[in-house]
Amino acid sequence: MQTTEKSVNKSLISLIIILIIDLVAFTCILPLFPTILEEFSKAEPKDELYSKFESSIKIFESIIGVPDLARYNNVFLGGILGSLFSLLQYVSSPIFGALSDNYGRKPLLLISAIGSLFSYYLWSVSTTFWMFVISRVVGGLSKASVTIAIAIVSDLCPNEQRGRGMSFVGIAFSIAFILGPMIGAYFSMNATRFASDTLINPPKFAMVLTVVEILAIIGLLSETLSKTEKSKSNILDSAYNYISPRSLFNFSVVQKSLDRTSLFKMKSYGFIYFLYLFLYSGLEFTLSFYTHIRFHYDGMHQGRMYFFVGILMIIIQGGYVRRIKPGKHHAMATLGLALLIPAYLVISVAYSQWLFYFGLCLYAIASGIVVPCLTTLVSQLSPEAEKGATMGIFRSLGALSRAAGPVFGSLIFWLLGPECCYALGAVLFFIPLVLLRRVQLNEQHLAKTKSQ
């Protein structure tokens, strides 16, 4: 859609405001997760679903022949819940993206927000563990705001400016990761009763924010997809392609619209993105449990940690990533992946605050670079009429990796402890780093062959 620069900037500003509100509501739970699970573990009488989890853990321990690892049980359970949420996003994200190609971005973004509002309502009335789990299920199925936001940026920004647009999405993430966890930490520090504060106040706050988000979508956001750009594909007929791992990795929905070289690059970036987020999400999810166990962090300390990470990510994305010149995103993604290796090695051996925050600094810098750059690379390859589907597939690959990553990371943490967990993660990051480098070398080889 052809739009003036003024209207593009207005639409981008409206989108970023909506996305910040959405993500603040979503991230306020992060510092509360260890506390919520700890309270459920201490509740008397115990919830039936939580009791089944504990009995299953004991059976698993006896099967693999390990001693009682009860002190890490909540880490493992947290990983399972995190993976469940992402598994549901893996199913819903590409379908939301493809539907937005057919029916427009605004109505699908509105449906996503309404679904999130319902999930926060369920959380607010949760008095048992199984009700809390149901709220996470509804939230996972509804959370498609980022997928649609990326499609909107693709609508608004031409190829040469798309990196700048994606960096604004990253900035929204960073701001949310500052405000949301700090607000969650406030609720945690001011909790006087388990049922009334730790479980009810944060979701009520999230509900209020989501109502504001819905009003902002209705009042501020204009539809960015013109009638001529809407896809004609039948969503029901191709639904399998949106949830089949094989189809997702092959980008089957859009492969007929791409030449051979572009398809190879898109599939490569998709696989690298999956490997990166598989490792990253597993280690990321255990971070709050790691600091809770090693440094005895409470909710306020967790909030300060996320505040530190968020500030650094804003500086990186706002001051550097959005200024990356076209053609340089591949090199910057490689740099980001390389930084994660020393970051996790340092965190694995950190027993002092200064050393931990040094590792956290490297982690934040890398986090601010990798995803925006990979997203830009895929977006630039996407067919114009299928941007929503392409980014939905890309986000769904991320959701699939996040569905497996937290379980893998928390299982390694549970079995081997934090030192081996983070050290092993650092070593495994060499795999996506080498693959990304191979794509660059292949591209250079093709360019050299054409010039001869």
Classify residue 224: in a domain, yes or no: yes
Give the span between the Cα atoms of 233 and 239, in whole angstroms: 11
SS3 of 144-170: the string is: CHHHHHHHHHHHHCCHHHHHHHHHHHH
pLDDT recorded at residue 273:
95
Classify residue 85: in a domain, yes or no: yes
Residues 113 and 129 sit within 8 Å (Cβ to Cβ):
no
Give the span between the Cα atoms of 269 and 432, in whole angstroms: 10
| DSSP state letter for 30 | G
Classify residue 275: in a domain, yes or no: yes
Give the span between the Cα atoms of 59 and 64, in whole angstroms: 9
The list of the chain residues with pLDDT below 70 reads: 1-4, 61-72, 188-200, 227-240, 242, 299, 388, 444-452
How many structural domains are present in the chain? 1
Q: Which of 375, 359, 403, 431 is nearest to 162 (CA)?
A: 375
Classify residue 439: in a domain, yes or no: yes
pLDDT recorded at residue 194:
38
Residues of the domain holding 344: 5-44+53-230+253-451
CATH number at residue 260: 1.20.1250.20
Classify residue 248: in a domain, yes or no: no
pLDDT recorded at residue 196:
45
Which tokens is 48 given? 């039936």
Which tokens is 231 given? 């896809």
| DSSP state letter for 194 | I
Query: C-alpha 25: how far from its chain's center?
Result: 14
pLDDT recorded at residue 239:
59
Classify residue 246: in a domain, yes or no: no
Residues 229 and 1 sit within 8 Å (Cβ to Cβ):
yes
Which tokens is 75 given? 């880490």
Give the span between the Cα atoms of 398 and 264, in whole angstroms: 18
pTM equals 0.75
What's the residue count for the chain?
452
Q: Is 396 exposed, middle or buried (0-12, 13-18, 19+ CB in 10 A)?
A: buried
Which tokens is 177 given? 């990761």
Query: C-alpha 421: how far from its chain's center?
Result: 21
Give the span between the Cα atoms of 169 and 162, in whole angstroms: 11
Region of 215 on the Ramachandran plot (φ > 0 left; ψ -120 to 50 alpha; else beta): alpha
pLDDT recorded at residue 116:
94
